[in-house]
Structure 1
Amino acid sequence: MRCMRRGCRAATSTSTEWAGTGRSFVSSACGRRMPGCMSATRPPPTPSTWAPTAPKYCSEVPPPLTLPLTLSLTRTVTHTECYTPTTDAQYLGSYSAKVLLRVLPDSLQVSGRSAPRGRLVPAPPLQLTLSEGSDLHVDCTALSDSPQHSHLSVSFGLTRPGAPVGRHTLQDIVSVQRDFSVEPAQSDPYSRRHQMGELRVEKSDSGTFKLVLSRAQPQDSGTYHCTAAQWLQDPDGTWQRVAEKRSILAEVTIQTIESQLKVSSGPRELTINSGEVLEMWCNVSLAVVPPPDVGFAAEWYRKATEDAPEQLVARLSQDGFVTMGGRYSGGEGGARHISLEKMPPLPGTYRLRIHSAQPGDVGLYSCRANALVTYPGARVEEVAQRVAPSVGVAMRTQDVALDAHTLLQSSTLHRGDTAILLCNVTVETPQPVRIAISWWAELPGEDPEETAGRLVASLSREGVSETGFRLFGEELVTDKAGPQCYRLRMYNIQPEDEGKYYCAATAWVQYPDLSWYNAATARSNSVTLYPYARAKDLLLIPMVAGVASALFVGIFILATVTCCYMKHLRIRKR
């Protein structure tokens, strides 16, 4: 409501405004004089009460002064007048403005539950307990039976557990504006979750709004509120909020998966024979049925002793892909036959089977279960992990006694000869084995404490020969000379081949799954290889030295005789 002063003439205006029941917000403008505002049933205030300094010139048009007023109204229709009396002798006249206020009934209702025919019934807030990763649905019903056309806005908020319920502790989540646009809270995590599609608002009927939080997290626990506001549009296009109410919808508790995840393994102790199937299981369970977006993965680890580092045996992802550890995916022993499978019911039992177990499989096995939540965009986050007690594995094996002895076929070798080294292997075992041989050399100048030598040649368990290191690349051959005798031949030995040589024998046992196991290893004694120089090589040096000395002496004598002769000729000419 405005009362305007224009020049020096009195003016009176009348308008109509809407207000909510019980109070109204009225604006008054009456030049630079302090306005008075009163109901039509009350007398105007005395001029002395409103006596600020007036303008000095009649041509001056004072700017309007707006004064917000709060009135207690109980009738649906009332007349209100803004009255400004003249308190200056220079300006004559009184100014006033009237407004017709129509009071709207307080029909705004907010609740978490609805009743037939749109009537809301008061009810205590819901008590919801959900598992982490489940979808959270909270309904808010906002209705208004106002005769004047109005718009509603609805916003959802959260009060953290243990915090007092109030506007200062209320954290905004998302709101539906009066033009039905959805605006998430500007701060994380709700702006990010809304952008990723994990936070949305659904409108199920004319007055019910549903807040949906996909894959609920532990920080989503708390008391959920719904705030509804009623808006009216003035003729000038501005919007006025005439009513606002808040209701508690639900008290939500999100139980973490980590608090519900249980993992056990068995059997606690296991003793098997070498070559048998090693089988262990890992049971993963939850206190409740797991949500559809929650998956599980299992990993089996082994360590030889309590203080030894862990080695991955096998891993089964939530998508069903199996990954084998480096020790079991191939190598000298070949590929191992290992299976890791998931058995129902959900979350499931993960069974590890090692076919044809070897003595190297002895140790402590532990199962590690991981709970993962899949978000939109194929984003996966681990939310919980549990490790089951270890399973101790012992094995009854068949001993393999292995020994090796190296000898040099010829004790005296000269440069250019062929050196033949023999490695005699003795093996005692009731099971069939295959022997692999490797020849090593420790050359002069190398520190035996820092290096075990250099590989010269090898013969695999399949009988394949491979050559290793030789300084000048001369030919060498390794083969099997007898049932348990292995031979190394080095042709055209040179002084650079001097050193200590030994052989290393490895006994391999093959299991039914065609994998190989290193059952025993033995190192032989060392023999010294020293290539002597030949006799002709020994005479060559003195002969060359004698010839050189003779030539030197002859040249010296010839030079001396020549000088004396030339000197004698010079004397005779005188």
Structure 2
Amino acid sequence: MAPWRIAIVCLQWVIHSALCREVMVPTGPLYRVAGFPLTLPCAVTGYEGPRTQDFEWFQYRQDTGGHQIGVVSTRDPGFPYAPFQARVRSGEIRVDRDSGDRARLVVQRLRPDDQGRFECYTPSTDSRYQGNYSASVLVKVIPDTLLISHPRTLGSQPMTEGAELQLTCKASAQSSQHTHVSVTFGVRGGAGAAVGPPGAQGHTLREIIGVDRGLTVVPGRGGSYEKRYAAGEISVEKRVGDSSGDLYVMKIGAVAPEDSGSYFCEAAQWIQDPDGSWQRIAQRTLELGNLTVQPLADTLTVTSTPRGEVTLQVGSPLSLTCEVSGVGSWGRSSLLVQWMRRGATSGDGSFSGGGVEVEVARIGPDGVVSWGDDSRRQGAASMEKEGEGRYTLRRFAAYPSDAGVYRCAVSVYAGKLNPSPSTPATITQRSEGVMVNVRTKDVTVSAVAEVPRGPLLKRGNTVAILCNVTVATTGPSQVEIQWLWKRESPGGLGEKTTADDPGRLLASLTYDGLARIYANDSELSVDRLAADCYRLRVHAARVEDQGHYLCQATVWGQDPKGAWYNTGARAESSTVRLYLFARVMDLLLIPLVVGVSSALFVGIVIIATVTCCFMRRLARQRSQK
């Protein structure tokens, strides 16, 4: 035979082989559980004719002597035999198409007498009868032994946000075949349900966490469960139980409002088919009860005592208490408690409104106390936790600077005992304000700045500026003086100053006699000449020291215990202008320089003229000889 003929024969054989009909079903035997669905896929390839092929299913039972029984057909409604007619009409048995040449036999509820060999047959649409037109698989029906139970269900009482939730579920499957059991905890509905059509939210199912057939923990993919599992807030464990099954325990460390809903436990039985794939052959769901989580915003209460307004005499102790309730389980959450103060004080020590709110003190979740606006007062104050939900701020002696509106701010970290500084609080709530007034003695003060009369002030002299202070009060008092300097406005005349210039602090003399110098570019000193007279001296005054000077006087009083405090009474003097005249030496320096320079110039000209004439005459005499 010629080589080309051999090639044609081989090509024809390959084409016929490629077009050879083949019907495929899973490799058996397949073990399935009575009462649960059975799905048998069937596919046909290598066919001729239309793309949509028909499928017919038969069964061979041992109790019928291996006779063929028609189950269902895609082309003949009257195909089913008597044992299957009612089930086919009700839809319990049907054929679902995946494509024109792929279909699945579905038995919604498998019966024990369904055990046997199932054959998938595809009627021929080929021009030639070749290949196989059917394939069969053995299905064995095993008893339903999957059991699921719960030791206890959820109570009817709502849980507070941040409380711990623990649910348990028992599951087992006693089978002669090698099967595995998986358990999943989930919830239906609730605030965390996915957004869907109106009215469908309550039917939304979310898997929280479970143990799969390989004993691997699998967090749910819906909502925030993956993040919470990674953070250790959700866990599940399998514990070896008794003959009734193993125990599965799920814990949610801190429930959130989104965790509200109807909880269930789902157990599934799995088996590995001959092709290596795992199939779920049984499944049961057990309702565990409904859970309602109350948000902390609805339960948390923060109050401060005493309420309203408190008026104290200077030096008296101040005690403020913050009471917290509605947190739920104290052992499951941590708190940050802060005392805040807002307001300024008037001259009599009462609250005058306004001001910036500042932190006075705090107790962190770790129990450490820290101080805010006035760390110098730490030794004269304390903040303590006196019991669960009770925190007290104490000032051992109150002064006018302590007046204002106090509020207690509580931040709750639900379900977190050791939150990091970057962890956001679950909720922060503040108490009503407590107005604290501190009454002092009536104090009036005035201040007048002046430059003493005397010779004209010249550059290089020592300049003195006096501050005369008058204080009217009862009891001991001391005055603290501050000296300030303001520059003149650019191009200004007379005694004008820059309007927006607050002044530069030069020096101060505290109520206890301590002098402080702040300007390092000039030589300054301060002293007290008399009980009501204070002096600032500028040594070797320069042109840069010119400008406007003023003094500020603050009155300090003495409380009944002998401690000194700032009464808040304050006065500021008007400004005095300092102008320095030039010295006599400075006035004569320019004429002296000009005179000497002129004299030298004239002398040089005269000498040069005389010398020039003498040299000319000497030259003429030599030329005559």
Q: For the superposition of Structure 1 and Structure 2, which TM-score range results when normalised by the shorter chain?
A: 0.7 to 0.9
| Distance in 2 between residues matched to 1:29 and 1:539, nearest whole Å | 123
Q: Aligned partner of 1:108: which letter?
A: L
What TM-score, normalized by structure 2, do the two folds share? 0.71
Q: Relative to structure 1, is the Cα distance of residues 159 and 417 closer, same or farther in structure 2, using a 3 angstrom cutoff?
A: same
Compare 543-552 and 295-304 and name the one that shifted more.
543-552
**Counterpart in the other structure of 1:104:** 142
Aligned to 1:448: 498
- Equivalent residue number for residue 32 of structure 2: 19
Residues 84-123 of structure 1 aligned to structure 2 (within 5 Å): 101-113=139-151
> CA contact under 8 A between 1:355 and 1:513: conserved in structure 2?
no
User: Cα gap change, 1:151/1:302 in structure 2, threshold over 3 Å: closer, same or farther?
Assistant: same
Does the alignment pair 1:459 with 2:509?
Answer: yes
Please point out which of 400, 419, 428 is paired with 1:385. Answer: 428
C-alpha distance after superposition, 1:452-492 (max 9, x if no partner):
44444433333233334375x4x543322333333334444
Whole-Å separation in 2 of the counterparts to 1:95 and 1:443: 110
**Which structure 1 segments of 5+ residues have no match?**
1-6, 8-13, 51-64, 115-123
Q: Distance in 2 between matches of 1:93 and 1:541?
A: 130
Whole-angstrom distance in 1 between the partners of 2:446 and 2:123: 128
**Matching residue within 526, 531, 551 for 1:478:** 526
> Partner letter of residue 410 of structure 2?
A
CA deviations over 1:34-88 (Å, ceiling 9, x no partner): 665234546577xx999xxxxxxxxxxxxxx997534676455854464979989
Residues 149, 391 of structure 1: alpha-carbon distance in 2 compared, 3 angstrom cutoff: same
2: distance between equivalents of 1:113 and 1:458?
Answer: 78
Task: Give SS of 2:105's match.
Answer: strand
Provide the secondary structure at the position in 1 that maps to 2:445.
strand
Once residues 553 and 401 of structure 1 are traced to their aligned partners in structure 2, the CA distance between those partners, rounded to angstroms, is 72
Q: Number of paired residues?
A: 530
TM (norm. structure 1) is 0.77
The C-alpha deviation readout for 1:189-237, integer Å capped at 9, x for no partner, is: 2222223322222334224322211111221111122222222344565
Question: CA offset at residue 306 of structure 1?
Answer: 4.3
The question of 1:520 aligning with 2:569 is answered yes
**Equivalent AA in structure 2 for residue 283 of structure 1:** E
- Correspondent of 2:232 among 187, 197, 206: 197
Q: Post-superposition shift, 1:158?
A: 1.8
Residue 268 (structure 1) aligned to one of 308, 318, 332: 308
Q: Per the alignment, do residues 128 and 519 of structure 1 end up closer, same or farther by CA in structure 2, a change over 3 Å counting?
A: closer
1:76-475 correspondence to structure 2 within 5 Å: 76=113, 78-80=115-117, 82=119, 101-113=139-151, 127=156, 129-161=158-190, 169-186=204-221, 189-204=224-239, 205=241, 206-234=245-273, 237-265=276-304, 266-286=306-326, 289-304=328-343, 305-326=352-373, 328-330=374-376, 337-344=380-387, 346-348=388-390, 350-375=391-416, 378-379=419-420, 380-413=423-456, 414-443=458-487, 447-469=497-519, 473=522, 475=523
> What do the CA deviations read for 1:217-274 (whole angstroms, capped 9, x no partner)?
2211111222222223445654332222223222111112221011222221111212
- CA deviations 1:492-548 (Å, max 9, x no partner) are 444554444443333223544846325433333544444444556545544554444
Distance of aligned partners of 1:246 and 1:513 in 2 relative to their CA distance in 1, 3 Å threshold: farther
- 2 CA distance for matches of 1:555 and 1:92? 141
2:480 aligned counterpart, secondary structure: strand
Task: Quote the Cα distance in structure 2 between the aligned partners of 1:494 and 1:18.
Answer: 108
1:182 and 1:439, CA in 2 relative to 1: closer, same or farther beyond 3 A? closer
Judged with a 3 Å threshold, the aligned counterparts in structure 2 of structure 1 residues 551 and 388 are, in CA distance, closer, same or farther, namely same
Instruction: Name the stretch that deviates more: 87-96 or 211-220.
Output: 87-96
The 1:190/1:407 distance shift into structure 2, 3 A limit, reads closer
Q: Which amino acid aligns with 1:517?
A: N
Task: Look up the equivalent residue of 1:357 and give its one-letter code.
Answer: A
**2: CA distance, partners of 1:242 / 1:542:** 121
**Residues in 2 aligned to 1:269 and 1:184: alpha-carbon distance in whole angstroms:** 53
Task: Say if 2:365 and 2:418, in contact at 8 Å, map to a contact too.
Answer: no
> What percent identity do the matched residue pairs reach?
35
| 2:98 corresponds to | none
Deviations along 1:406-425, one digit per CA (max 9) or x if unpaired, are 44345214444433443333
Amino acid aligned to 2:365: Q
Report the alpha carbon displacement of residue 105 of structure 1 after superposing the two structures with TM: 2.7
Moved more, 414-423 or 94-103: 94-103
The amino acid of 1:352's aligned partner reads L
- CA RMSD of superposed structures (Å): 4.3
| Residues 81 and 566 of structure 1: CA distance in aligned 2, closer, same or farther (over 3 Å) | closer
* 8 Å Cα contact 1:84/1:94 also seen in 2: no
**Kept in 1: contact 2:271–2:281 (CA 8 A):** yes
Contact 2:318 2:396 in 1 (8 A): yes
SS in 2 for 1:216: coil
Alpha-carbon distance change, 425 to 307 in structure 1, aligned in 2, over 3 angstroms: closer
Contact 2:365 2:419 in 1 (8 A): no
CA distance in 2, matches of 1:15, 1:537: 122
Structure with greater helix percent: 2
Q: Quick one: which amino acid aligns to residue 535 of structure 2?
A: R
What is the one-letter code of the residue matched to 1:139?
Answer: T
Matched, 1:38 2:59: yes
SS at match of 2:292: strand
CA–CA distance in 1 between the matches of 2:103 and 2:575?
A: 111
CA deviation vs aligned residue, 1:321-353 (integer Å, no higher than 9, x gap):
222222x223xxx76722222223x222x2222
How far apart, in 1, do the equivalents of 2:130 and 2:461 lie? 141
Contact 2:56 2:74 in 1 (8 A): no
Find the aligned partners of 1:399 and 1:524 in 2 and give their Cα distance.
20
> 1-side partners of 2:480 and 2:520: how far apart?
20
Question: What is the SS of the residue equivalent to 2:258?
Answer: helix
Q: Distance in 2 between matches of 1:313 and 1:36?
A: 83
| Distance in 2 of aligned mates of 1:97 and 1:544 | 130
1:69 maps onto 2:112 in alignment: no
Unmatched runs of 5 consecutive residues or more in structure 2: 1-19, 21-26, 48-54, 76-100, 194-198, 344-351, 491-496
Q: Could you give the per-residue CA deviations for residues 89-142 of structure 1, whole angstroms, max 9, x where no partner exists?
A: 98799998887654323343434458xxxxxxxxx9864621111111222333
